[in-house]
Amino acid sequence: MRARPLLAALVALASGAAACTSEDARGPEPAAPLSAGGGAAEAAAPAAAAQAAVVAATAGDPARGQRLVAELQCNRCHDGTGQAPAPRDAHCVQCHQDIAAGRFQAPAAAMKRWNENLVQLRDVPSLAAAGDRLRRDWIRAFLLAPHDLRPRLHATMPRLAIGPEQASDIAAYLTRDRRERPREALTGASAARGRELYEAKGCGTCHAFTGAAGLTAVAPVRAMEKETRAAVALAPDLRHARDRMEPADLAAWVLDPGAIKPGTPMPQVPMSPAEARDIAAFVATAPLSPPAPASAPERLPLLSRRVTYAEVDRRVFRVTCRHCHSEPDYALGDGGPGNTGGFGFKPRGLNLATYEGIAAGYVDDHGERRSVFARGPDGVPRLVAALAARQAEEAGRADPAVRGMPLGLPALGPEEIQLVESWIAQGRPQ
């Protein structure tokens, strides 16, 4: 593998990025309304057909889902997709892991610089045995409205360019091999005993359980070893467990996670089947306080001091944007999904690695070049609107018209967005 500056950063984010828009968003056309008139029998037939269509669309088609998983290049981040592994140069997570372990062939100065900021995409969950762990309807909902499921993981699942039908198909494919378990697995289990066991066995060492009152605060273990780091980073907030898993699956997982998903970083904690059911009962039924209301930060006023491209590039573009928007020749022909396409996104030709590339803008659905500095109806430049939209997404208010950036990574802070907006307002000086 040839060493190229910032190769890892250029191919690193399997969350994809379009040109700061949702123009790629796909989904089924809304169903036509039923015509008025006719008797009960006439009305019942189309109503029943419509209901059957809804059920079929929600159930999904595994064959179509398999094709979508390949088209969206899920294997560039996730193992367990059923697809052949992505080439080493195109596997975002393995690339970062190689850099962190010193295996990546690059100059020592570049490796040092990369490792200083290498906090994202070193760990992602495998999709293996998803059907034995996760509810199909939850997978579908999560694909359509991703949220921060793992509070100690830097990246999140991105908002991909898919609609409800595609999400159903992917969920059907990922859960196609589900092993059925008895629905009454928690009969006789004690949530009170489960709470005691939860604390005694140190579940909170890795897991957050937001909303569950009175749990002993536990500092996460120091993630020094690969397995420990992955276990802490990938541990989901147990608030969501009751939505993600059937009670029987949750009990089986707590008892022996490796038997369900070989290679999982979740350790097997010694316990009896009865204790596993008790812990599952606690996790599945503990009273939870409502989530804390989230809000996007207020935009800061424009800076009065001079802001140059060099400063914006150092603090913003070079840190995050180049993951998906960069120069193809800089990274073995892959300019990232926001430039040369990928992860289900069309090539947009948006190169944020150079001043000239940013000035050239992006390519719209009609093949026309558009400026990322053009102002929308609210007077906000397109680039700034995309950055602000990511803040709104994190607050649970996704804008269907604007895809938030950086996709799949934490939103920029108010100061960084202020810097970008001030630079644009000043005429984008170099």
pLDDT-flagged residues of the chain (< 50): 1-43
Separation in Å, CA 243 to CA 95, 134, 140, 219, 246: 33, 9, 12, 26, 8
d(CA 92, CA 300): 34
146-182 pLDDT tens trace: 999 999 888 899 999 999 999 999 999 999 998 887 7
Predicted confidence at residue 141, as pLDDT, reads 97
Predicted confidence at residue 1, as pLDDT, reads 36
d(CA 14, CA 307): 31
Predicted confidence at residue 384, as pLDDT, reads 97
The answer to whether the CB of 408 falls within 8 A of the CB of 394 is no
**Residue 105 Cα to chain centre, angstroms:** 28
Q: Which residues, 6 or more positions from 237, have their beta carbon under 8 angstroms from its beta carbon?
A: 148, 149, 150, 151, 207, 208, 209, 210
Give the orientation angle of helix 191-200 with respect to helix 273-285, to 10 degrees.
Answer: 100
Q: Which residues, 6 or more positions from 180, have their beta carbon under 8 angstroms from its beta carbon?
A: none
429, two tokens: 């000086």
Predicted confidence at residue 345, as pLDDT, reads 86
Give per-residue burial for 406-423: e unless 16+ CB within 10 Å, then b: bbbbbbbeeebbbbbbbb
Predicted confidence at residue 33, as pLDDT, reads 33
Predicted confidence at residue 38, as pLDDT, reads 42
Nearest to 405 by CA among 146, 20, 16: 20
